A and B are shown apart, each in its own frame.
Chain A
Amino acid sequence: DIQMTQSPSSLSASVGDRVTITCRASQSIGNYLNWYQQKPGKAPKLLIYAASSLQSGVPSRFSGGGSGTDFTLTISSLHPEDFATYYCQQSYSTLPLTFGGGTKVEIK
């Protein structure tokens, strides 16, 4: 299995801050990396696919980067509605698809 490691596991930030979350794969996955946002009691929502493609309807303050084994999700200016847990997911190997452990973004 391809292991996905996210860091940090949690962070505290203020509205307006720039936030970067890192995801590392245990082997090269090209650009087969996707990012999701999950709010409490809700299903995850796709933000970024193929490492850097913004899903339709997602605000442009979200951006993704990286390739190979190291990837980032950046929120350029944190909005109140962005406080949530973020997950990365690799889709290079479909058996199995695997997720990172999550990064919880909390209000400072």
Chain B
Amino acid sequence: QLQLQESGPGLVKPSETLSLTCTVSGGSISSSSYYWGWIRQPPGKGLEWIGSISYSGSTYYNPSLKSRLTISVDTSKNQFSLKLSSVTAADTAVYYCASLDSSGYYLLDWGQGTLVTVSS
């Protein structure tokens, strides 16, 4: 079982870029068994898939966020990252990182989540 931990600012100003990092332990981020993903949950609401990245660096973005989104991997640090630009209050949410099974695309292990608030 992998352990994942999100890190990054809890408060971002409108129009700025939200940046989060997920550190993976208990396994290699280069493993072909996994993809790596970000999911968010606005307060009191349901889950929204943001995007994923494969062990080879291929990215899969939610079309609704694609124009503002970058997901990348740093294999030397066993981390992957999320950058979401031009944020608004609608981007306020708990952001989760997770591992995905590379064949079934189900979400196996999750980080604890981090609340990011967009406010001036």
Interface, chain A (partner B; CB < 8 A): 1, 32, 34, 36, 42-46, 49-50, 87, 89, 91, 94-102
Contacts and interface: CB of A to CB of B under 8 A. Distances in A.
Which residue, A43, A44, A46, A50, has most C-beta atoms of chain B within 10 A? A43
Interface string B7-45: 000000000000000000000000000000100000000
A95 B63 contact: yes
Contact of A44 (B60, B63, B105, B107): B107
A49 B63 contact: no
Contacts of A44: 47, 96, 107, 110
B46 A95 contact: no
Contacts, number: 60
B60 A43 contact: no
Given A94-B52, A101-B46, A46 B106 contact: yes
A101 B96 CA distance: 17
- Size bracket, chain B contacts: 20 to 34
A99 B49 contact: yes
Contacts of A95: 60-63
Interface of B: 37, 46-49, 52, 60-64, 96, 98, 101, 104-108, 110-113
Contacts of A89: 47, 106-107
Contacts of B63: 1, 95-96
Nearest to B62: A96
Nearest to B108: A46
Contacts of A32: 104-105
A40 to B, nearest CB: 11
Nearest to A33: B106
A50 B104 contact: yes
B4 to A, nearest CB: 9
B60 A94 contact: yes
B109 to A, nearest CB: 8
B112 A43 contact: yes
Contact of A34 (B60, B96, B107, B110): B107
A50 B106 CA distance: 8
